[in-house]
Structure 1
Amino acid sequence: MTKKPYSISAGELAARGPERIPEAFVPNCHLIYSSPATLFYNSPGAIGFGVKRAGLVIPESVMLLVSPGCCGRNSTILSAEEGYADRMFYLLMDETDLVTGRHLKKIPEAVAEILETAKPRPKVVLICITCVDALLGTDLERVCREAREKTGVTVVPSYMYALEREGRKPPMAAIRQTVYSLLEPAEGRKDPRMVNLMGFFSALDPESDLIALLKQAGIRRVNQVAEMNTLDEYREMSRANFNLMLHPESRFAAEDLQNRLGMPYIEFPRLFAPEKIHRMYQLLGAAVGVTFRDEVYYEAAKAARDRFAAARKGTRFAVGEVMNGNPYEMAASLTEMGMEVPTIFANLTPDDFPFLERLARRSPETRIYTGIDPSMVRYRPEEAPPVDITVGKDAGGYYPGVPNLEWNSEKEPFGFKGFTDFINGLEEVLA
């Protein structure tokens, strides 16, 4: 076994291409190392908006977690800490259940009991199963149909399958599709001045230029599922003219709505480079037939960028993945501002390669570590390239004592405002 933690340069990783991602980045190729910095990633429901909390974004819903006791204990603690404990219910599996699958017959009865006891009475029950049911080959859709027929309530399947993190539909992509699965064809005509923002489980910063510019362009209603208080409000989202997909893990959900409801979608990723944000607004305007007058926001973002670049050129960054942004895109943007990024801690998907290639052109020697590889147990910051600041909770964990910007609030940053807030945060931490 190597005496050093596995890492690879941005240049070498980009040259391999998405078809040859190293096994160290692929969880099902090795044991998983769970440091305090990587617990956020290793379980889809570990912290923040994992599968369980994300599914409960559906208004007037509760969740029944069907699992062994270990998963139940984890969820009990996290749901209490994050404020959704009163919406979580549990059906624990014993050893006989694991062998025979008899727990599946108990689910309709458990749903009926939830409806009798939960206050207020839920209108939707999500059934969440775990890796053990993946191994058993459980047909959860059939189970949900049986529960719905018995109780009359809407019952929706959801999957907390850590085993499928690198599969065709990872858990956080699957739960996004679940969140929008209850939208049905709208009665009457669609509203040409309504749009849905897809991608995040909490709402965008209300001061985001994206919301302001959409309304400036004549969009009267900008929907976000996190702002829907009732199921009726949620179902109004099916009247939207189109969806804006802000996060790549929403692609399955957006494609499903396009296929089922004839609702087109446009990708608009979160970026941290003013020129590229401006370009995205131009492309969006061309697609929907409007002109976005973003000059004020654009100039403010460039001024913040130029101020920081002049004062902090050469500042050395370590960038993690537990933050509101793509680590490869953020690292590329920092290098384009004259910063140095010796180190990145992040996993890798094919969606990351355009950003990785952009980074590799500027900083091919950047070392990329994947926190899930067992060799990371030997990571020592004193043996790694020195840095002046870290971005992301996980990067802060790997470099204790170095100034850290967590950049992980639930008020989602986006667009020019997100970029300027990021620069302001960096300046505050480095002051």
Structure 2
Amino acid sequence: MLHGKAKDEQWNNQIKEKLSPSLQEEIPFQDAAWPLPFVPGLEYNSPAHGTWNIVHMGMLLPGSHQIYVCGANCNRGVILTAAEMNAGDRFSFVEIKEEDLFNGQMEDLVIEGVSDILHKLPKKPSVVLLFTVCVHHFMGCDLAYIYDTLRSRFPEQCFVDCYMDPIMQKEGLTPDQKLRNALYKPLPMREKNLKQINIIGNDFPTREETELKTIAKAAGYTVKDITECEGYEEYLSMSESFLNIACYPLAKYGAEQLSKRLGMKFLYLPFSFHYDEINAQLKSLVKEMPGAVMPDTSLLRKRCERILQETKELVGDTKITIDATVVPRLLGLTRLLISHGFSVERIFTDAFSAEEKEDYLWLKENAPNLKVCATIHPNMRVYPRNPQEKILAIGQKAAYFSGTEHFVNMVEGGGLHGYDGICELCQKIQQAYQTKKDTKDLVVRKGLGCESCI
């Protein structure tokens, strides 16, 4: 009998023999290949921009200043992001021109450009997030020399190596994962406070009502989160926590690295839609926190079931669409709703999460006609967006592609977690069903939750 990796490889090979990625933009779930249902190629970028990018994430670090070293075309996007969120005073750039690629002075360009920016700032930042790009990889640029020189010139500033290198998007760590790691590099080694824990790598504060927070605070623990730090000193106090918790998949790597570097314990507790997994997560949390008490999960489960039933009674057979930007586990949410009688008609995603193989198999068996629709396929630019009936969308891209004003305006889990997260999401679904939103105005704003000047 095969176990572990060998069993996974055998299963993957069997699936590959049966299914191949589709050239079409929409397919039934029974034909969806694992883990990539669509053939990669030319990509379309929809106007739904609520997900956070590296500029938004960088602004979470109090007292930081971002500097990008790249060509004008790459600079355009990040400059506009900083401008839209009215954060231009915390953002600068050094422009690379064509001659800089051949004159052998790239290192000097970066060093002198960054030095000039810092000398001209009215107040020097505590942290400099310095973003290098793809071209620096191509040229074999001596980044170590650049950072050593800058640190010697500006000993009071903390320089953090950051990357805007989309060439790495398909293999290895993505720029998103790298930045969620880099944001915690300034944290120094400090004596540990056994009554303080961190939530690492989120873009949104975790809801106070989540079991994660209520268990910790009831037992007298302080919960630190970069999204809630008022200043640089409070941010540095995260070094004193004895336990790091990652709830967002793309934050797992960074939380693991921080835990190893500073000698902290680590738990990965993703937002799950399976009651048994939530129970296991809560048990592991309580185990790591002396004095914490396990809640009565049977009552929490009953509350979820009651609110799910109330939500189903309200929306009835209204067709539902969901996209992959709303929660990290799209298939888990889809399975939860379908298993409770909701009429989920279509999901929008370009890939399936490696964490959701079990849900993938369940949906293939129990929802073979569920439509899987790409979001970056070129044909999506002319995808029909004029429904003849009411559609309830969960997520911005689902709302845009479905052409509906009834949608849950949330990205990246929205700070939800555990049983409370399921209940709160149901409340959002009810509100979306009952209330229209201005989809065209809302989805084009970059970085949901950030300030927007448009």
Q: Tell me the TM-score range normalised by the shorter chain.
A: 0.7 to 0.9
Residues 41-86 of structure 1: CA distance to partner in whole angstroms, max 9, x if unpaired? xxxxxx6521122123222110111111122222222212123211
In 2, distance between residues paired with 1:255 and 1:32? Answer: 32
| Native 8 Å contact 2:24 2:38 kept in 1 | no
Residues 308-359 of structure 1: CA distance to partner in whole angstroms, max 9, x if unpaired? 2344354321111232443222212211221122211113242343443343
Q: 1:53 to 1:316 in 2, by over 3 A?
A: same
* Structure 1 runs of 4+ with >6 Å offset: 384-387
AA in 2 matched with 1:418 = G
AA in 1 matched with 2:164 = M
Q: 1:336 to 1:64 in 2, by over 3 A?
A: same
Q: Deviation of residue 134 (structure 1)?
A: 3.5
**Structure 2 partner of 1:204:** 206
In 2, distance between residues paired with 1:306 and 1:132? Answer: 54
TM-score, reference length from structure 2: 0.81
Q: Which moved more, 1:275-284 or 1:239-248?
A: 275-284
Q: How does 1:18-417 map to 2 (within 5 A)?
A: 18=35, 21-22=36-37, 24=39, 29-37=40-48, 40=49, 48-100=51-103, 102-152=105-155, 153-186=157-190, 188=191, 190-216=192-218, 218-272=219-273, 276-286=277-287, 288=289, 290-294=292-296, 297-348=300-351, 349-381=353-385, 388-401=391-404, 403-408=406-411, 412-417=415-420
In 1, distance between residues paired with 2:388 and 2:285? Answer: 40
Q: Which moved more, 1:310-319 or 1:90-99?
A: 310-319
| Native 8 Å contact 2:37 2:350 kept in 1 | no
Q: 1:211 to 1:250 in 2, by over 3 A?
A: same
In 2, distance between residues paired with 1:70 and 1:82? Answer: 20
- Residue 426 (structure 1) aligned to one of 413, 424, 429: 429
**Structure 2 partner of 1:6:** 25
In 1, distance between residues paired with 2:31 and 2:286? Answer: 37
Q: 1:378 to 1:63 in 2, by over 3 A?
A: same
AA in 1 matched with 2:88 = A
Which structure 1 residue ranges, 5 or more long, are not aligned?
41-46
In 1, distance between residues paired with 2:357 and 2:414? Answer: 27
Identity of aligned residues (%): 21
Number of residue pairs the alignment of both structures matches: 409
| Native 8 Å contact 2:213 2:223 kept in 1 | yes
Q: Which moved more, 1:342-351 or 1:268-277?
A: 268-277
Q: 1:338 to 1:138 in 2, by over 3 A?
A: farther
RMSD: 2.9
Secondary structure class of the residue paired with 1:156: strand
| Native 8 Å contact 1:5 1:376 kept in 2 | no
AA in 1 matched with 2:199 = L
Q: Deviation of residue 248 (structure 1)?
A: 1.1
TM-score, reference length from structure 1: 0.85
Q: 1:120 to 1:220 in 2, by over 3 A?
A: farther
AA in 1 matched with 2:416 = P
In 2, distance between residues paired with 1:385 and 1:248? Answer: 37
Q: 1:10 to 1:195 in 2, by over 3 A?
A: farther
